[in-house]
């Protein structure tokens, strides 16, 4: 090892970076810049790049720059398939939990997984990700999808799927971790306990999925025979819905609040509502029922624990999507447009432990 030529050592370092997907969204730097970065001569850096080209890890583009070979461009044995999780740039337990499932599914296929953030729909990183990864799982933003981005997604049908974000009208499959149908088990559970006045509280931005959850609550009024009021005060994109829910609930409790139970469109909202109830001397589960879509994964650890639908195991559905993404011979998705969970996990927490008399 000690006698290995310097250019081979440099080539191995670059190959390791490529194995982690470090150059999937950017070109490999010039030999001069690589020489400065690694502290080697320009000749050594150039020979290292030539080794990568000879090994089929990279290709020379028309402008002379060097880029990593995608699987469809590889001259020799195809490199491992690449999968991106393309999602808005803000902290979220939901994104983290989705990442775990996506990364494990990719590893089962011996693929390379990379999370990629974007801030707005026309950010160049979105197009670069679509062009450089074999498969892309796209998550929606609180901002409305603009026409240019919509057309971009329409033009890239193979290898693109969405998660809890509906672009099925463009021929793009949707992985539904939390379809609006998951609201129904929560409402049925409340009705089974004797709750007949069930309010809905929403403070997160009203994107398509949130609007559908509210719609499921409205449908429940007719089909399950309960009454209720919608308290809909969405925050701006990237603001905190929990804080807003806390303030909303505190304000409602100073007046006449007659709901027997509350349905929250996501878990963070339920935290704010629960804290407001506790601060007012009301215990969720004893004085009022509380349920939520548990997209954050921590509702069972709250005190009191909050009844919620939890994230399902979508391993089979992910395998189905990855099989399609990694097969260039199947350019269009021809199966069901939405992949729904086989079972919706319902966690019964302390927030609905007591029956209405």
pLDDT digits (tens, 9 = 90+) for 38-61: 899 989 988 988 888 888 888 888
Q: What is the CATH number of the domain that holds 39?
A: 1.10.10.10
Please check whether residues 91 and 67 belong to one and the same domain. Answer: no
Intra-chain end-to-end CA distance of the chain, in Å: 78
Give me the domain span that covers residue 93.
82-177+313-339
99 belongs to a structural domain: yes
Please check whether residues 93 and 210 belong to one and the same domain. Answer: no
Please state which of the ranges 75-84, 211-220, 286-295, 342-351 shows the lowest mean pLDDT: 75-84
**The predicted structure's pLDDT at residue 30:** 85
Give φ, ψ of 138 to 5 degrees.
-100, 130
pLDDT at 1 exceeding the cut of 50: no
Please state which of the ranges 43-47, 272-276, 290-294 shows the lowest mean pLDDT: 43-47
DSSP E strand boundaries for the chain: 58-60, 66-68, 82-88, 112-118, 135-139, 160-163, 174-175, 198-202, 230-232, 261-264, 289-293, 307-309, 338-339, 346-347
Please check whether residues 145 and 242 belong to one and the same domain. Answer: no
Please check whether residues 303 and 188 belong to one and the same domain. Answer: yes
Q: Are 88 and 118 in contact (CB under 8 A)?
A: yes
DSSP-assigned letters across all residues of 291-310: EEE-TTS-GGGSSS--EEE-
Residue 339: beta bridge partners?
Answer: 175
Please check whether residues 194 and 307 belong to one and the same domain. Answer: yes
Q: For a pLDDT cut of 90, what percent of the chain falls above it?
A: 68
1 belongs to a structural domain: no
Which uninterrupted H or E stretch holds 76?
none
- Dig out the tokens for 117 from the structure: 């953030």
Please check whether residues 200 and 240 belong to one and the same domain. Answer: yes
- Ramachandran sector of residue 171 (left: φ over 0; alpha: ψ -120 to 50; beta: rest): left
Please check whether residues 58 and 114 belong to one and the same domain. Answer: no
Q: How many domains does the chain have?
A: 3
Task: For residue 92, count CB atoms less than 10 angstroms from its CB and return exposed for 0-12, middle for 13-18, buried for 19 or more.
Answer: middle
Q: What is the pLDDT of residues 114-167, one digit of tens each?
A: 999 999 999 999 999 998 899 999 999 988 899 999 999 999 878 999 999 999
Please check whether residues 36 and 137 belong to one and the same domain. Answer: no
Separation between Cα atoms, residue 49 and residue 72, nearest integer Å: 21
**The predicted structure's pLDDT at residue 78:** 52
Separation between Cα atoms, residue 169 and residue 203, nearest integer Å: 27
Q: What is the pTM of this model?
A: 0.85
Separation between Cα atoms, residue 161 and residue 177, nearest integer Å: 13
pLDDT at 357 exceeding the cut of 60: no
């Amino acid at each position: 090892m000690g006698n290995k030529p310097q250019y081979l050592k440099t080539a191995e370092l670059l190959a390791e970076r490529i194995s982690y997907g470090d150059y999937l969204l950017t070109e490999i730097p010039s030999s001069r810049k690589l020489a400065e970065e690694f502290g080697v001569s320009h000749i050594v850096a150039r020979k290292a790049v030539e080794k990568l080209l000879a090994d089929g890890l990279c290709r020379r583009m028309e402008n002379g720059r060097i880029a990593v070979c995608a699987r469809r461009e590889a001259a020799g044995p195809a490199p491992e398939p690449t999968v991106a999780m393309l999602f808005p740039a803000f902290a979220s337990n939901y994104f983290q939990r989705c990442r775990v499932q996506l990364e494990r599914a990719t590893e089962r296929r011996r693929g390379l997984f990379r999370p990629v953030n974007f801030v707005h729909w026309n950010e160049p990183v979105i197009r670069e990700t679509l062009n450089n990864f074999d498969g892309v799982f796209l998550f929606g933003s609180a901002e409305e999808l603009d026409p240019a981005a919509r057309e971009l997604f329409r033009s890239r049908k193979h290898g693109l799927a969405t998660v809890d974000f509906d672009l099925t009208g463009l021929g793009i499959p949707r992985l539904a971790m939390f379809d609006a149908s998951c609201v129904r088990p929560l409402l049925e559970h409340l009705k089974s306990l004797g709750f007949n006045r069930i309010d809905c509280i929403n403070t997160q931005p009203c994107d398509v999925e949130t609007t559908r959850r509210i719609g499921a609550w409205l449908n429940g009024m007719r089909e399950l025979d309960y009454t209720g009021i919608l308290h809909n005060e969405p925050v701006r994109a990237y603001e905190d819905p929990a804080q807003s829910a806390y303030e909303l609930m505190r304000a409602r409790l100073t007046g006449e609040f007659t709901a027997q139970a509350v349905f929250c469109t996501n878990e963070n909202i339920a935290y704010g509502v629960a804290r407001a109830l506790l601060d007012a001397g009301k215990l969720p589960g004893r004085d009022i029922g509380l349920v939520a879509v548990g997209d954050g994964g921590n509702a069972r650890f709250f005190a009191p624990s909050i009844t919620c639908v939890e994230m399902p195991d979508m391993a089979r559905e992910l395998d189905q999507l990855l099989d399609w993404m990694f097969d260039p011979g199947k350019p269009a998705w021809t199966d069901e447009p939405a992949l729904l969970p086989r079972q919706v996990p319902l966690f019964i927490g302390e927030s609905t432990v007591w029956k209405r008399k």
